[in-house]
Chain A
């Protein structure tokens, strides 16, 4: 006789670790999704979307990309205004956006758009969309999740501390208190709804830069029956992460091993590795999108098997060329000031005008198999829409390939080589 509890237990989402190397967790999350038969590899990333669609991409062009993650990230900020529509639709956001087979994680905010401060109260959090500000109480938030029916969703939380310059300890404490209160209220509402019970709540770790508050947030959140944890407030510029790495280690040390740890706002390859070393499992993939928007193509190597010479050949020596050219520029991109990184090339530059090589030699993506740097350059110069499509296809594939190489490196005990390779390319 099968005990129903045991059955349910065996069907519930399960994280199994294959090994832990230098703090990096290699493993799988099984029994995911409504049908309980999806699997995700960790470390890994989620597919970044805007209003439920990969940026610039239709189903056809998305399907051309190799290694698309099993789980996509939706943002509440882009979908909250569809509340009424989705309620009437009844079948959930996955089907609505044309991705019924994909796992879905709904985050509160869009990692690309900075959040204006001053819009969190004891009773509500505001999200910002193209249409403007939407204020959300716990009940409204849960009602929207009920209409969305994602597999996972980030709990309503007070993440404003990371938007502010220097938050007072009082404000930091409040962010932890509020987030816990929101969590408890959301859990309570979840208990009352059959539909909501099919989704997993991801608890949010707040606490700003105050170690004491970080630890409190981690310990308290871990006591609740959440399915995983989101490490919020670590985003910023490269120097700010460095100072927060210690906090990060301390936080993950307090979290149960068998639940996934997501982090928001971290995308650069070197930062990704640093976070994985400190116990983070899942990342967003907004970084390749940002690179796309500034006309860039990711070219950094993650092939730790190749020696230096081969790597340079693969990149057609462009990394060296870049170092000779002053190419660090600030750009205004839809409200974000983003610098070009050393992980990419800027296809707008004149030197690519007659370059008939693919973006990255040896890359198996649709863009590299079919088009040249010269063509992409032309599309950017003439402001053609196809530039975004092709660059997005390459950048996503390249980025997903990077995460694959992390898992391979961990499996084959080559993490040190990969780390060295990545950090050599970080400017």
Chain B
């Protein structure tokens, strides 16, 4: 069959009138007068979520060794699940029988499910993308699954998550050439197909995902088209891969400058502390990343000055907590020395202590960011943060300095 690039269909295009009357799930509480930082509130079916927010990732209906009670006690009000994984195991039918993903994992607060698009990149050798969808091949038994926009939405409808993501055509940010453009246009077409297939728009909020790689023109086109669609929120996708930080921040800034102010901006896959702070300054509201929970399982504890690799001998006789200022249960009860000893044992409890702490770190960071925005001192907060992290605000990485400067925040 000859390869034809379909024109951009306008299936889900909203009229000016409907755009104005579409329900807004985000309420802005405060805005930084210098940068683009905002503090807000998301009103979601399973409760309110304060923004900016970091969402921990619990891929397979579990937050890696910590109970939903522990997660709740840390103040988490929204976390992630993954459509690709859950679609395979245990499957949407079973989860539907279990009263959705909330019922299955017994999580009373909000859930956001990714569409399975990212697995296209992470499992690239096992996937094939066509206009129809993504075909995945299992490395275990060779069986194939086709994930189409319709199928992805169907699964997410069964999961019942509060925010669902469109299936997007994701290419690695290191890819250049016509594939990037193809993926961008296809993502728009797939957005329309997702909107059309979505059975529960009043219960689940479908977010679009802006693509276009590292090409400003492609991104701009994608922004222009997707913002014509009447969706409750927008994600900025295709970044936080292998691209340079300099390119990364420029694409984020471009995106936030063209996204509506009254809808949430979800920057996917970002979780390092510095990146979070900078991207809040650039106007992002929501973030997710496996980093804090994954690094915990490798023995690394997050602290305001970076991280402590607690397996190292230097912590063997360090009898203080990970962070004396941290209010998490791990820091309230345990010393670095004990965690060091436990990490060298075969007791999984060590990993759970660190998972608890790292999630607490991320949530406490976002909370502090938010408070500073509300109290109109966000730029000072940023300077303090960079000072603590890098020894001096001026020692902050160049890309971050440039990014902050672009929105009116100077360091040192």
B-contacting residues of A (Cβ < 8 Å)?
50-61, 64, 78, 82, 84-85, 88-89, 96-98, 130-131, 334, 353-354, 356, 366, 370-372, 374-375, 378-379, 381-382, 384-386, 388-390
CB–CB B98/A375 < 8 A: yes
CB–CB B348/A366 < 8 A: no
Q: Cα distance A381–B140 when bound, in Å? A: 14
Please give the distance in Å from B357's CB to the nearest CB on chain A.
10
The answer to whether A82 and B65 touch (CB under 8 A), given A58-B353, A61-B70, is: no
Contacts of B60 in A (CB 8 A): 378, 382, 384
A-B contact count (CB 8 A): 124
What would be 19 A-B contacts, judged by CB atoms less than 8 Å apart? A50-B347, A51-B342, A52-B342, A53-B350, A55-B349, A56-B349, A57-B352, A58-B70, A58-B329, A60-B70, A60-B329, A89-B317, A356-B97, A366-B67, A375-B104, A386-B62, A388-B65, A388-B348, A389-B67
Among the stretches B155-163, B199-207, B331-339, B399-407, the one at the interface with A is B331-339
Q: Cα distance A54–B350 when bound, in Å? A: 11
CB–CB B61/A378 < 8 A: yes
CB–CB A385/B90 < 8 A: no
Instruction: Name, among A50, A53, A374, the residue most crowded by chain B CB atoms within 10 Å (CB to CB).
Output: A53
The answer to whether A379 and B62 touch (CB under 8 A), given A52-B342, A98-B338, A370-B69, is: yes
Q: Cα distance A366–B349 when bound, in Å? A: 17
Please give the distance in Å from B306's CB to the nearest CB on chain A.
24
CB–CB A88/B345 < 8 A: no
CB–CB A51/B347 < 8 A: yes
CB–CB B333/A98 < 8 A: yes
Q: Please name the 6 residue pairs, one residue from A and one from B, whose CB atoms are nearest each other, closest first.
A: A385-B65, A51-B345, A50-B347, A386-B62, A53-B349, A98-B333
The residue of chain B having its C-beta at the shortest distance from the C-beta of A375 within the complex is B104
CB–CB B94/A59 < 8 A: no
Given B98, B330, B335, B349, which contacts A374 in the complex, CB threshold below 8 Å? B98
CB–CB A385/B337 < 8 A: no
CB–CB A59/B333 < 8 A: yes
Check: B66 CB closer than 8 A to any chain A CB: yes
B residues 323-366 in Cβ contact with A at 8 Å:
329-330, 333-335, 337-338, 341-342, 344-353, 356
Contacts of A386 in B (CB 8 A): 62-67
Please give the distance in Å from B324's CB to the nearest CB on chain A.
16
The answer to whether A51 and B341 touch (CB under 8 A), given A59-B333, A61-B67, is: yes
Q: Cα distance A64–B68 when bound, in Å? A: 13
CB–CB B351/A385 < 8 A: yes
Check: B316 CB closer than 8 A to any chain A CB: yes
CB–CB A354/B349 < 8 A: no
Given A131-B344, A385-B348: 5 more A-B contacts, CB < 8 Å: A51-B345, A130-B346, A334-B346, A374-B98, A375-B105
CB–CB A96/B337 < 8 A: yes
CB–CB B94/A374 < 8 A: yes
B residues 61-116 in Cβ contact with A at 8 Å:
61-70, 73, 85, 89-90, 94, 97-98, 104-106
CB–CB B347/A56 < 8 A: yes
CB–CB A82/B68 < 8 A: no
Contacts of A381 in B (CB 8 A): 89-90
Contacts of A375 in B (CB 8 A): 61, 98, 104-106
CB–CB B319/A89 < 8 A: yes
The answer to whether A57 and B349 touch (CB under 8 A), given A370-B106, A389-B67, is: yes
CB–CB A382/B70 < 8 A: no
Q: Cα distance A89–B73 when bound, in Å? A: 31
Given A51, A54, A366, which contacts B69 in the complex, CB threshold below 8 Å? A366
Q: Cα distance A371–B65 when bound, in Å? A: 14
CB–CB A384/B62 < 8 A: yes
The residue of chain B having its C-beta at the shortest distance from the C-beta of A383 within the complex is B60
The residue of chain B having its C-beta at the shortest distance from the C-beta of A54 within the complex is B349
The answer to whether A58 and B69 touch (CB under 8 A), given A51-B342, A130-B345, A353-B90, is: no
Q: Cα distance A161–B329 when bound, in Å? A: 44
Contacts of B335 in A (CB 8 A): 96
CB–CB B338/A96 < 8 A: yes
Contacts of B348 in A (CB 8 A): 55-56, 385, 388-389
Please give the distance in Å from B113's CB to the nearest CB on chain A.
16
CB–CB B62/A59 < 8 A: no
Q: Cα distance A98–B349 when bound, in Å? A: 13
Contacts of B316 in A (CB 8 A): 85
Contacts of B329 in A (CB 8 A): 58-60
Contacts of B69 in A (CB 8 A): 60, 64, 366, 370
Q: Cα distance A334–B319 when bound, in Å? A: 31
Please give the distance in Å from B300's CB to the nearest CB on chain A.
16
Please give the distance in Å from B318's CB to the nearest CB on chain A.
10
Q: Cα distance A353–B90 when bound, in Å? A: 8
CB–CB A385/B64 < 8 A: yes
Q: Cα distance A356–B90 when bound, in Å? A: 13
Given B61, B66, B341, B351, which contacts A85 in the complex, CB threshold below 8 Å? B341
CB–CB B67/A356 < 8 A: no
Q: Cα distance A200–B98 when bound, in Å? A: 52
Given B65, B89, B97, which contacts A354 in the complex, CB threshold below 8 Å? B97
Please give the distance in Å from A339's CB to the nearest CB on chain B.
22
Instruction: Name, among B60, B64, B345, B350, the residue most crowded by chain A CB atoms within 10 Å (CB to CB).
Output: B345
Q: Cα distance A385–B69 when bound, in Å? A: 15
Q: Cα distance A353–B61 when bound, in Å? A: 15
Please give the distance in Å from A298's CB to the nearest CB on chain B.
19
The residue of chain B having its C-beta at the shortest distance from the C-beta of A129 within the complex is B345
Contacts of A84 in B (CB 8 A): 317
Please give the distance in Å from B144's CB to the nearest CB on chain A.
20
Contacts of A384 in B (CB 8 A): 60, 62, 64-65
B residues 290-336 in Cβ contact with A at 8 Å:
316-317, 319, 329-330, 333-335
Instruction: Name, among A78, A356, A386, the residue most crowded by chain B CB atoms within 10 Å (CB to CB).
Output: A386
Contacts of B98 in A (CB 8 A): 356, 372, 374-375
The residue of chain B having its C-beta at the shortest distance from the C-beta of A55 within the complex is B347
Given B319, B345, B352, which contacts A385 in the complex, CB threshold below 8 Å? B352
Contacts of B63 in A (CB 8 A): 386
